[in-house]
Structure 1
Amino acid sequence: MSFQPTRRTGLNRTVLLSPGAPWHGAPAGRALGAASPLDDGQWLIALERLVSSLVEPTEQDRSARPDWSEDDWARWAQLERIVLCGGVLAGGRGDLVRSLFRAPGELGLPPVAVEVDPDPLSAPLRGLTAWPPVGAPTLVLDLGHTAVKAAVSTAVGQLGPVTAVRVPWTPFDLSTWPDPPTLLAVVRQAATHALAHEDLPSDAAPAEARVAIGNYVVDGRLDEDQTWGTLARSGEPADELLSAELGLPVRLLVNDGQAAALGRAGQRHTAVISIGTSLGVGFPPSSVPTPRTPPGLG
């Protein structure tokens, strides 16, 4: 897993440019995320503009992201497909994308295929099962800005009943964001519900946990912001905090967009964009990993 999205390489601050459009000059995270003020037609055009600005940027697009290097632009230029997931794509807007983004390059559409994951809400959870491949019961969690989702997986791409616990704060009101102990308590609640709904024998309890999070993560460390990044303020690594709260070792902690991309390992020239409260992004690992020996059997 070479690519790890950061605040610099992420898409939330990508400026969408189209003079006269209601979203001209707006950052992509605000124009396309869950709090977008755009109607469906405007939203679709803004999405099209985001994709075009990534794979065929104008000089103005490049100037609007002076923090990107040539390597950053080259990563997007080689794409043949973009897969969308996240809560915003789980309803009518997912259906709109499926119906309209059919023919790359035609009718002004971007020269790449744009598709929606078959189950956009659970894509990060499923991705967590794939890289490395799940070889024993594993607890997977997706820590979002609206809900914390959890499930138990016993095979790659397979999830038991998914539990979603609504977060006790207002996603876009940072003044309501709680302290780290409250965040961890919500995670524990979701995990407890998922384990209670999974019919596993007592000797097959999950041996580990894997976590997708709506925050940038580099080498297991959170990039601090005013949301999930506040876990970093405790001074302890986030995976250790989560491990202590869950009573399980957290073997993987990644951004939600990158988690979804893990489920597409080996798919070249592909990117995954998660559209929820904000935008997550990931690129699938270049190769399919070798199945791992389950804990205790090696």
Structure 2
Amino acid sequence: MSGGTRQTFNPGLNRVTLGHFGGLPDGMAGSLAHEWLATWSIAPRMRAELGTPDLPPIPAARKRDIARLCLQRLPRRTQGLPSLLRSSVGELHARKMRVCSRYPEALEERLSRGDPRAAAFADRLGLALAALVATLKLAPAESRAARPDWPETHWNRWGQVNDIVLGGGVLSGTLGQHLASTAREWLPRLGVEGVRLHLFAQPRLLMLHGAARQYREGPVLVLDAGHTAVKRAYAEVSAGEVQEVRPAPLLPTPYEVSDGHRLLDFLAGAMLETLSAQERAEQVAVSLSAHLDGAGNVSPATAASSFYGSLAGLDLEAGLRERLDGRLGPSCQVRVIHEGQAAVHGLPGMDAALLLGTSVGGALRGRGER
């Protein structure tokens, strides 16, 4: 296994307050990272600043919208009220994310055809990325004060980072190259020296590569369960390095599934669909967008923060192994890791990862991990 520990150091980055650096545009200093870099914030900014007549409006997911959907489902419900509420929240979130995820793709298309307004918008996103890296690296007083939940060790660890791998759907294609290039240009202006940003060649697949690298040799069945989509692939690993990743079509995150056992059924089935009749794989790795404990299970204390919280209380590796061994055999191995650990290990030698997708994610390589 490439990593030596289960729990990569991955405190959330959505609510990191960007430092008051000179040269930032109005409204950026003192704002939160997710307000600039998360898919569900990029979409309304694009709609307001660029105009998007070719894209659908962003669905609302307010409390009254949740209540309305619950009332619509109430007469035909087959579940308890708490489950009805969870599934209604999940469905509205799914509708919103399906639409929001189209906006970075539209920005990418405008950049590719040389739209100057799109380029200026992307410049601001790249500057926000640089401001996030500078905030994490330099730990300005105002940003530390805004995160009383972070102990000083969090900031100290980020201050030691030199090599950061960048991944996530927002960083795909021309848009990702534009953001990474702009961020690299701005880092020295913000007072950051010696930090290298490594844009992963296939940003959407970063976690699949990192999950595969949890094994040293042979074929690996990999899955990345995120909050916008579920990605899966068949990978070949040699000497701890990924030689090939053959992805299967994306699946939408199954927000309609609110029961943990049914969700495990879905994840196992999604992986088995990637195998042809002739292929074999006895190694399985799952990257999960949820906080995990030392045994690789969803932590009950933080279950409410993730769609995958319904898996809390289940032995994930044993449960997946039970569902897979009919096809893969009783000797199959299963490892479940946090998406941050997968991201950090997507490229060898990285100190940290930053992920721009549904939200702003990140992780630091755990102590003792290679």
CA contact (8 A) 1:131 1:263 kept: no
Distance 1:89 1:199, change over 3 A: farther
Percent of aligned pairs with the same residue?
29
TM-score, scaled to structure 1:
0.79
**Equivalent residue number for residue 81 of structure 2:** none
The residue number in structure 1 matching 2:7 is: 4
State the secondary structure of the residue aligned to 2:158: helix
Match of 1:72 among 146, 149, 154: 154
AA aligned opposite 1:58:
P
Cα gap change, 1:116 to 1:188, in 2 (>3 Å):
same
The number of residues matched between the two structures is: 273
1:3, 1:283 within 8 Å by CA — same for their partners in 2?
no
Q: Counterpart in 1 of 2:267?
A: 187
Counterpart of 2:36?
A: 31
Residue 173 of structure 1: aligned partner: none
Counterparts of 1:1-298 in structure 2 under 5 Å? Answer: 1-2=4-5, 4-5=7-8, 9-18=11-20, 21-23=26-28, 25-37=30-42, 38=45, 39-103=121-185, 105-108=187-190, 110-111=192-193, 112-133=195-216, 135-155=217-237, 156-167=241-252, 178-196=258-276, 200=279, 205-219=280-294, 220-223=296-299, 224-225=303-304, 226-232=306-312, 235-247=313-325, 249=332, 251-265=334-348, 267=349, 270-284=351-365
Q: Map Cα deviations across residues 33-80 of structure 1 (whole Å, 9 max, x no partner).
A: 221234423322221221111001211011011122222111111112
Over residues 257-296 of structure 1, what are the superposed CA-to-partner deviations in whole Å (9 max), with x where a residue is unaligned?
A: 210212344x26x21112211233233467786xxxxxxx
Aligned 8 A contact 2:9 2:363 in 1:
no
Moved more, 141-150 or 31-40: 31-40
Change (3 A) 1:11 1:4: farther
Distance apart, 1:90 and its partner CA: 1.0
Structure 1 Cα separation of the partners of residues 360 and 169 of structure 2 = 11
Measure the CA separation in 2 of the matches of 1:120 and 1:164.
16
**Deviation of 1:186 (Å):** 3.4
Kindly indicate whether the alpha-carbon contact (under 8 Å) linking 1:256 and 1:274 is maintained by their aligned counterparts in 2. Answer: no
Shift of 1:23: 5.0
Q: Secondary structure at the match of 1:4?
A: coil
Q: Is the 8 A contact 1:83 1:116 kept in 2?
A: yes
SS across alignment from 1:100: helix
1:83 is displaced (CA, Å) by 1.6
Residues 8, 364 of structure 2: 8 Å contact kept: no
RMSD of the alignment, in Å?
Answer: 2.9
> C-alpha separation between the residues in 1 aligned to 2:156 and 2:356?
22
CA distance in 2, matches of 1:182, 1:54: 39
Unaligned runs of 5+ in 1: 171-175, 290-298
Mapped contact 1:216–1:255 kept (Cα < 8 A): yes
Counterparts in 2 of 1:126 and 1:194: CA distance versus 1, 3 Å? same
In the TM superposition, residue 87 of structure 1 has moved relative to its aligned partner by: 0.9
Aligned-partner Cα distance in 1 for 2:208–2:200: 13
Counterpart secondary structure, 1:150: strand
Post-superposition shift, 1:157?
Answer: 1.0
- Greater Rg over alpha carbons, structure: 2
Q: Deviations over 1:117-162 (max 9, x none)?
A: 11211111111222342x2322111111122111122223133420
Q: Distance in 1 between matches of 2:366 and 2:243?
A: 20
TM-score by length of 2: 0.65
Cα 1:257–1:217, aligned 2, differ >3 Å: closer, same or farther?
same
AA matched with 1:271: A
Distance in 1 of aligned mates of 2:232 and 2:139:
38
Contact residue 33 and residue 275 of structure 1 kept, 8 A:
yes
